[in-house]
Amino acid sequence: MFVKIIFGIAFGVLSLILIIAGMPDYYQDDNVVGWIKLHKTPATFKDAYMTCYYEGAVLASPINDPLAATLERKRNMTDGVIWIGTHSLFSENDFISIEGVQVNDMPISISYETEPNENCLIMASAGQAQTSNCTRLLPFVCYRHRRDEPVNFKCGTFDNRYKYEPRTGSCYKLHHERQEWLRAQLICSSEGGYLAVVNDEEEAMILRNMSSRRALKISKYTDWEPLFIGIRDWDRKGIWTTVQGDSLDSVYHAWGWGQPDNLGGRQYCGSLLKNGLLDDTWCHVKTLFICEKDPCKARFTHPSTGNPIEPDFP
Ligand SMILES: [Ca+2]
């Protein structure tokens, strides 16, 4: 059972990583006063919820007539069953959307199954929601309301914590919570980027300086703490590639003294040390990380015109 769960989680994470949709992936929809994105790759309710969250959106629910109509249109683009962001995980039989709307206040009807653990809602036919086990794998729709904090035009993302760096032409976001390497890459990917790929020494120093102790103010942060970056020994044979599939030889590859040493025989993920050099480290040890994003790849259409956004460089 445990192994099955672990495999399920690993598969879920990997399948989510593959969701690197064409850009832009969020389309302005005036009817719902915001942006909509259909995820056709199936996920559990929890992964769907988290994917939308990392994208800067919410798992969509039919909380009003326009959203119900949009969700119905999107449902018809799938095999016919999608998650909606409404569940009773906090309070049994009290179904409520992520935004806090009671299911009784939505323009839909709901049919309750009698099986235990049916805490999540699906749409399987027009105007009709149905309870379901939350571990099913289903497509889903993410929604971002236009009133949510202003979008980041310079970096082409919803997330204002991405900062444009003119010296490299990339945008970066230093995450202040530690994650396993795969999860870190999933988060960067959901944000429209990737775990930072260091192309040269200048970029290594920029990333290193971003994580200076004074800049971070993270509890229990130590001066020697490394940062996950987007390189990995996928095949565990000492052949390092970037998350974009390039050989490490073609980018910055100044290893720290004695590295890569594959300590304990299990160091397959890349990190940047405080001295700006590389180290191989444990993928499963939660570590701070930096996401990088191409500012030319705006992930949403313009809030006013609905057209793709041109990058707004300084
Ligand atoms: Ca090492």
* Digit-coded pLDDT (tens) for 123-148: 999 999 999 999 999 999 999 998 76
Could you tell me the pLDDT band of residue 76, with boundaries at 50, 70 and 90?
Answer: very high
β 109-111/128-132 pair status: parallel
The span from the CA of 108 to the CA of 118, in Å, is 18
Neighbours of 304 (CB within 10 A): 9
Whether the pLDDT of residue 18 is over 70: the answer is no
Pick the closest to residue 63 from 9, 103, 24, 34 (CA basis): 103
For ligand 1, the distance from its centroid to the CA atom of residue 281, given in whole angstroms, is 5
For ligand 1, the distance from its centroid to the CA atom of residue 260, given in whole angstroms, is 5
The span from the CA of 313 to the CA of 268, in Å, is 36
For ligand 1, the distance from its centroid to the CA atom of residue 279, given in whole angstroms, is 5
**Domains of the chain (ranges, CATH numbers):** 2-145 (3.10.100.10), 163-293 (3.10.100.10)
For ligand 1, the distance from its centroid to the CA atom of residue 292, given in whole angstroms, is 23
Could you tell me the pLDDT band of residue 276, with boundaries at 50, 70 and 90?
Answer: very high
For ligand 1, the distance from its centroid to the CA atom of residue 132, given in whole angstroms, is 45
For ligand 1, the distance from its centroid to the CA atom of residue 290, given in whole angstroms, is 19
Q: What is the pLDDT of residue 176?
A: 85
Query: Comparing 78-82, 173-177, 195-199, 253-257, which segment has the lowest mean pLDDT?
Result: 173-177
What own/partner pairs with CB < 8 Å and gap ≥ 24 does 113-120 have?
A: 119/87, 119/88, 119/89, 119/92, 120/45, 120/83, 120/86, 120/87, 120/88, 120/89
For ligand 1, the distance from its centroid to the CA atom of residue 257, given in whole angstroms, is 10
The span from the CA of 41 to the CA of 141, in Å, is 11
What separation in angstroms does the CA of 145 have from each of 123, 134, 165? 21, 25, 28
For ligand 1, the distance from its centroid to the CA atom of residue 261, given in whole angstroms, is 5
For ligand 1, the distance from its centroid to the CA atom of residue 195, given in whole angstroms, is 19
Q: Which residues hold their Cβ within 5 A of ligand 1, which is an ion?
A: 259, 261, 263, 267, 279-280
Q: What is the mean pLDDT of residues 36-41?
A: 94
Q: What is the mean pLDDT of residues 105-131?
A: 90
Q: What is the pLDDT of residue 289?
A: 95
The mean pLDDT value of the chain amounts to 86
Q: What are phi and psi of 36, to 5 degrees?
A: -130, 140
* Structure tokens belonging to residue 130: 């149905």
Q: What is the pLDDT of residue 9?
A: 45
For ligand 1, the distance from its centroid to the CA atom of residue 233, given in whole angstroms, is 12
Could you tell me the pLDDT band of residue 6, with boundaries at 50, 70 and 90?
Answer: very low
Length of the chain: 314
SS (H, E, C) the chain: CHHHHHHHHHHHHHHHHCCCCCCCCEEEEHHHCEEEEEEEEEECHHHHHHHHHHCCCEECCCCCHHHHHHHHHHHCCCCCCEEEEEECCCCCCCCEECCCCEHHHCCCEEECCCCCCCCEEEEEECCEEEEECCCCCEEEEEEEECCCCCCECCCCECCCCCEEECCCCEEEEEEEEEECHHHHHHHHHHCCCEECCCCCHHHHHHHHHHCCHHHHCCCCCCCCCCEEEEEECCCCCCCCEECCCCEHHHCCCCECCCCCCCHHHCCCEEEECCCCCEEEECCCCCEEEEEEECCCCCCEECCCCCCECCCCCC
Q: Which of 11-15, 51-55, 308-312: highest mean pLDDT?
A: 51-55
The span from the CA of 303 to the CA of 307, in Å, is 8
For ligand 1, the distance from its centroid to the CA atom of residue 240, given in whole angstroms, is 13
For ligand 1, the distance from its centroid to the CA atom of residue 239, given in whole angstroms, is 14
The span from the CA of 224 to the CA of 274, in Å, is 6
For ligand 1, the distance from its centroid to the CA atom of residue 229, given in whole angstroms, is 14
For ligand 1, the distance from its centroid to the CA atom of residue 126, given in whole angstroms, is 55
Whether the pLDDT of residue 299 is over 80: the answer is no
Residue type, 126: A
Q: What is the pLDDT of residue 262?
A: 92
For ligand 1, the distance from its centroid to the CA atom of residue 280, given in whole angstroms, is 4
Whether the pLDDT of residue 200 is over 90: the answer is yes
For ligand 1, the distance from its centroid to the CA atom of residue 118, given in whole angstroms, is 45
For ligand 1, the distance from its centroid to the CA atom of residue 306, given in whole angstroms, is 48
* Structure tokens belonging to residue 143: 């929604």
Q: What is the pLDDT of residue 222?
A: 66
Whether the pLDDT of residue 11 is over 80: the answer is no
Contact 127, 109 (CB under 8 A): yes
For ligand 1, the distance from its centroid to the CA atom of residue 210, given in whole angstroms, is 22
For ligand 1, the distance from its centroid to the CA atom of residue 267, given in whole angstroms, is 6
Residue type, 75: R
For ligand 1, the distance from its centroid to the CA atom of residue 263, given in whole angstroms, is 5
